[in-house]
């Protein structure tokens, strides 16, 4: 039923809380887990105002190294896993990846924002829930 499970990761412990749920589903259905990290593209003008350099290659390489490590843990646990690092708008890239790879399920941890915080900052989980063609399992972030 769930041949390919998409698990978006942003290199945070919070995002990784979705992994145990994805692993249990993968075990039950013999699924492969597709780990995806998206390095957002930031407006160069905004970067000048913050004073932070845009070292895209370093960010992408950190994401790749992180994804290799997560995949290695899953493989050691007997789970088939693939990974990819994309660049762009996070929600749009995740939606595109899920469609192109024909993912049957998306498992993502919410980041616990609600109300004004969600409206101001947007919500990747919310965008996936509203626009993904596959079912989305939202893993609720633990209360701080």
Residue-level pLDDT at 41: 78
Residue 6 sits at φ, ψ, to 5 deg, of: -90, 130
Residue whose pair of structure tokens reads 């845009």 in the numeric block: 54
More confident residue, 92 or 48: 92
Helices then strands, each counted (H, E), the chain: 7, 5
Confidence grade of residue 121 (pLDDT, cut at 50, 70, 90): very low
Task: Report the SS3 class of residue 37.
Answer: strand
Q: Where are the domains of the chain?
A: 4-139
pLDDT of residue 45: 63
Residue 115 has pLDDT above 90, yes or no: no
Residue 140 DSSP one-character state: P
pLDDT of residue 112: 57
Dihedrals phi, psi of 29, to nearest 5 degrees = -110, 0
DSSP secondary structure code for residue 104 in this structure: S
Distance CA 39, CA 56 (A): 8
Tell me what the mean pLDDT of segment 52-81 comes to: 90
Fold of 4-139: Rossmann fold (3.40.50)
Statement: residue 19 has pLDDT above 70: yes
Percent of the chain past pLDDT 70, that is, above it, reads: 81
- First-last CA distance in the chain: 35
Angle at 120 between CA 114 and CA 123, to 5 degrees: 55
d(CA 107, CA 33): 10
């Amino acid at each position: 039923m769930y041949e390919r499970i998409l698990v978006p990761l942003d290199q945070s412990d919070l995002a990784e809380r979705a992994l145990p749920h994805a692993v249990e589903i993968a075990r039950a259905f013999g699924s492969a887990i597709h780990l995806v990290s998206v390095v957002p593209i930031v407006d160069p003008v905004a970067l000048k105002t913050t004073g932070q350099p845009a070292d895209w290659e370093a960010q992408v390489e950190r994401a790749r190294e992180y994804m290799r490590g997560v995949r290695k843990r899953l493989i050691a646990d007997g789970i088939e896993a693939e990974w990819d690092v994309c660049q762009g708008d996070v929600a749009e890239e995740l939606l595109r990846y899920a469609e192109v790879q024909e993912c049957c399920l998306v498992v993502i941890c919410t980041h616990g924002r609600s109300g004004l915080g969600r409206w101001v900052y947007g919500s990747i989980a919310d965008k996936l829930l509203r626009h993904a063609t596959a079912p989305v399992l939202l893993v609720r972030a633990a209360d701080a």
